[in-house]
Amino acid sequence: MSGHEAAPAVVAPSVRVTGGPSVQLPTAFGFFTARAWTDEGTGVEHMSVTSPARPDNAPLVRLHSECLTGDVFASYRCDCGEQLEQALALIAEQGGTVIYLRGQEGRGIGLANKIRAYALQEAGADTVEANEQLGLPVDSRDYSAAAAILHAMGLQNIRLLSNNPLKGEKLAGLGISVAEMVSSEVPSREQNLRYLQTKRDRMDHRLALLEDHPIHQS
């Protein structure tokens, strides 16, 4: 991709994104090309981190929702930080893109509310129940900006690195063809086992490594 400003990409009348210049991003996982994207409707800035895809395969794409506690502080309460590291390593190896979606903390409820939900979880609620007790949606994330970024990058046919089939369905409704769902599961820990079980049992995430843990544990 060139370093010139990109023309806005339109997926729906209300969704427009503009890309800035492309720059080199050397990391512990490999060398990438990074680019910032601005959702013109909300002003939220997202980022794509890309490694060249192989010509014989659809590019691997990870839509990674911002998680300050997991991504920055390496929290064991979730699997987000480890999933991000896994995605960067796989994309450096196979080619593709991580789109880092800001403003999606706690599946869209925000940082302060996520910490409030953590407090309710410590009192016995699971991650779904905690959001419901706060009067908040279980998952309010919107992938329109992500789809707009993919369209702008010319990535209409992808392999999606995710355990969440609903994410693939939402992208398909936004004009992105998902050729394959690739597992992004990482091993569970004592601290996030119940969280992962809830995602499997109540949110339909595909988590095969939890087959030996059929019952919710506190």
Active-site option among 141, 159, 194, 200: 141
Task: Note the pLDDT of residue 52.
Answer: 93
Please pick, among 102, 139, 142, 206, the residue that the annotation labels catalytic: 139
- Is residue 139 among the annotated active site residues? yes
Q: For the chain, how big is the Rg over CA atoms in Å?
A: 17
Structural domain boundaries of the chain? 9-104+141-212
pLDDT tens for residues 151-204? 999 999 999 999 999 999 999 999 999 999 999 999 999 999 999 999 999 999
Known binding-site positions = 62-67, 78, 80, 83, 105-107, 127, 162, 167
From the annotation, which residues make up the binding site for GTP? 62-66, 83, 105-107, 127, 162, 167
| CA-closest candidate to residue 167, choices 215, 206, 119, 112 | 206
Question: Which CATH superfamily does the domain covering 9-104+141-212 fall into?
Answer: GTP cyclohydrolase II (3.40.50.10990)
The whole-angstrom separation of Cα 133 and Cα 115 is 13
Mean pLDDT for the chain overall: 90
Residue 13: per-residue pLDDT = 38
**For residue 2, pLDDT beyond 80:** no
- Helices within the chain (DSSP H only): 80-94, 105-108, 111-122, 127-133, 144-152, 165-172, 193-203
Beta pairing partners, 107: none
Is 142 annotated as catalytic? no
27-79 pLDDT, tens digit per residue, is: 999 999 999 999 999 999 999 999 998 888 899 999 999 999 999 999 999 99
* pTM (two decimals): 0.88
